[in-house]
């Protein structure tokens, strides 16, 4: 099976060894995205809503670099620092997936990288 690394300068570079996405077997596997603002390299200011918006924008940029899009996402996994913020996160998330949202798993993690409140990874068709 061929495997292609996907990279875009539209999202802040990871500080750990990972690829932003891998295209393999007819799928795009996008690494978990944080709400890092590409202009500042810091988490988006404004709480869970701002972070979720930036996460979705970063995910969108990675998927587009892979020749895919948010509309082609089949599955997401959402990691949250606090599930009490789920409703607010869902309000923003649903704006990025307004029709036929992807399959999804959401859970609370003990801690996320850089003190993030939310991280989302995705599997999409190219």
CATH of the domain at 107: 3.30.1330.40
Residue 15's pLDDT is what?
A: 83
Range of the domain at 31: 3-11+18-124
Q: Is 110 left (phi over 0), alpha (psi -120 to 50) or beta?
A: alpha
Number of domains in the chain: 1
Residues of the chain with pLDDT under 70: none
Residue 1's pLDDT is what?
A: 86
Give the residue from 61, 60, 82 showing the smallest Cα distance to 71: 60
Scanning the structure block, which residue is given the tokens 């875009």? 8
């Amino acid at each position: 099976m061929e495997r292609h690394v996907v990279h875009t300068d539209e999202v802040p570079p990871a500080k750990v060894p990972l690829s932003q996405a891998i295209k393999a077997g007819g799928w795009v596997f996008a690494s978990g995205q944080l709400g890092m603002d590409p202009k500042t390299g810091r988490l988006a200011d404004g709480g869970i809503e701002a972070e979720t918006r930036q996460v979705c924008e970063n995910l969108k940029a990675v998927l587009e670099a892979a020749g895919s899009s948010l509309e082609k996402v089949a599955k997401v996994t959402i990691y949250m620092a606090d599930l009490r913020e789920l409703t607010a996160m869902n309000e923003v998330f649903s704006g990025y997936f307004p029709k036929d949202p992807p399959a999804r798993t959401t859970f609370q993690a003990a801690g996320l990288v850089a003190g993030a409140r939310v991280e989302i990874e995705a599997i999409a068709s190219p």
